[in-house]
């Protein structure tokens, strides 16, 4: 398994930007071979290019390949990238397999130059997808609100809303949840694939999402689908801020769906009723319907003791994949 001497170190091998002539020579050579390259190492000599084989492969796969889609990323693509990154991390090549016509290099560049900054602006750590340590105060519609009163799920949703395209915070939260499960138990390929599928599914339109969830219903996805019912991304994003204010006024957190919140959350039954605890004024009918859905009980994320069959059942399901 020793390192190979790379032809790139050969004296006289050209580096730097490719010229049109070089591009043409490479494309024609590969087309002559019916699109089959064979050995990249031998390609430069066979095609008459004074380039390293590695450089030829890179140029072909990242730029000259006929199935490459060029142009700006769509909102859907961006959402999908974020969801997949939350689940997979910097596995650019894996992420690229979920986006038709996009290369790992292109996605990586787009992440580093666009998405990463958007997430940072939104107060989200682009590496961990956790919210960054909050500023002393949050200002919502002019009102200064202690950060401690903001449920983590709302911080995520606010970050999602800040991203403009309506990032599916639910997808990220699902991925986070599964990541934490995997951290607790170790990982395997099946569960990694599950995460990728979930992330991909959640970047799709809702109707497709439902299909995906049905498909995965035997895997624990059914649980996750329910678990993020209380996530604010499930109702119109313009309601996020209103929901935040509503919850702040209630000082009632949406429980059990997040890492730190999950860790701190007691395993006691939780109430989905976010109707005002102090302020008895009911929310306008329909405005927070999503919050009023019955929610299943979410035990403490870290309570994986033998008595806690809840999580064990989910994990077993995922391993059956």
Where does this chain bind DNA (CB under 7 A)? 1-6, 8, 14-18, 37-42, 52-55, 57-59, 61-63, 90-94, 104-106, 108-110, 112-114, 117
How far apart are CB 206 and DNA at their closest, in Å?
A: 29
**Which tokens in the block code for residue 267?**
């395993």
Strand partners, 144: 139
Q: Is 230 helix (H, G, I), strand (E, B) or coil?
A: coil
CA 252 – CA 249 distance, rounded (Å):
8
**In this complex, which beta carbon is closest to DNA, that of residue 53 or of residue 262?**
53
How far apart are CB 120 and DNA at their closest, in Å?
A: 11
Dihedral angle over CA of 212, 214, 220, 225, nearest 10: 80
**In this complex, which beta carbon is closest to DNA, that of residue 79 or of residue 118?**
118
> Nearest CA to 111 among 133, 132, 126?
126
Instruction: Give the CA radius of gyration of the chain.
Output: 24
How far apart are CB 21 and DNA at their closest, in Å?
A: 12
How far apart are CB 30 and DNA at their closest, in Å?
A: 12
HSE, CB side, 13 Å, CA atoms: give it for residue 235. 20
**In this complex, which beta carbon is closest to DNA, that of residue 101 or of residue 276?**
101
**In this complex, which beta carbon is closest to DNA, that of residue 6 or of residue 184?**
6
> Nearest CA to 23 among 58, 52, 57, 64?
64
**In this complex, which beta carbon is closest to DNA, that of residue 40 or of residue 223?**
40
How far apart are CB 155 and DNA at their closest, in Å?
A: 24
Q: Is 275 helix (H, G, I), strand (E, B) or coil?
A: coil
CA 115 – CA 126 distance, rounded (Å):
8
Our measurement of the distance from residue 243's CA atom to the centroid of its chain's CA atoms, rounded to an integer in Å, reads 23
How far apart are CB 105 and DNA at their closest, in Å?
A: 5
How far apart are CB 52 and DNA at their closest, in Å?
A: 7
**In this complex, which beta carbon is closest to DNA, that of residue 49 or of residue 221?**
49
**In this complex, which beta carbon is closest to DNA, that of residue 14 or of residue 272?**
14
Degrees to nearest 5, angle at CA 161 with 159 and 163: 75
CB 144 within 8 A of CB 221: no
């Amino acid at each position: 398994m020793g390192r190979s001497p790379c032809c790139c170190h050969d004296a006289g091998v050209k580096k730097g930007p490719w010229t049109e002539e070089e591009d043409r020579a490479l494309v024609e050579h590969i087309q002559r071979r019916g699109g089959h390259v064979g050995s990249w190492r031998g390609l430069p000599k066979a095609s008459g290019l004074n380039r390293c084989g590695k450089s030829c492969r890179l140029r072909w796969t990242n730029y000259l390949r006929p199935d490459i889609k060029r142009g700006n990323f769509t909102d859907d693509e961006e959402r999908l990238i974020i969801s997949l990154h939350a689940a997979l991390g910097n596995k650019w090549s894996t992420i690229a397999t979920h986006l038709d016509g996009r290369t790992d290099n292109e996605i990586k560049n787009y992440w580093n130059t666009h998405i990463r900054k958007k997430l940072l602006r939104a107060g989200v750590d682009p590496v961990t997808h956790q919210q960054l340590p909050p500023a002393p105060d949050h200002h919502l519609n002019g009102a200064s609100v202690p950060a401690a009163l903001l449920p983590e799920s709302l911080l995520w949703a606010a970050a999602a809303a800040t991203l403009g395209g309506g990032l599916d915070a639910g997808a990220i939260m699902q991925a986070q949840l599964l990541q934490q499960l995997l951290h607790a138990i170790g990982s395997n390929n099946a569960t990694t694939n599950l995460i990728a599928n979930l992330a991909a599914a959640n970047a799709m339109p809702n109707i497709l999402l439902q299909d995906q969830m049905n498909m995965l219903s035997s895997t624990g996805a059914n649980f996750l689908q329910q678990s993020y019912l209380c996530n604010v991304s499930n109702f119109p994003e313009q309601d996020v801020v209103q929901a935040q204010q509503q919850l702040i006024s209630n000082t009632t957190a949406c429980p059990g769906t997040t890492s730190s919140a999950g860790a701190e959350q007691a395993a006691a039954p939780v109430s989905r009723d976010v109707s005002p605890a102090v302020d008895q004024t009911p929310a306008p009918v329909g405005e927070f319907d999503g919050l009023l859905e019955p929610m299943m009980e979410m035990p403490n994320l870290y309570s994986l003791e033998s008595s806690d069959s809840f999580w064990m059942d989910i994990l077993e399901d995922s391993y059956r994949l």
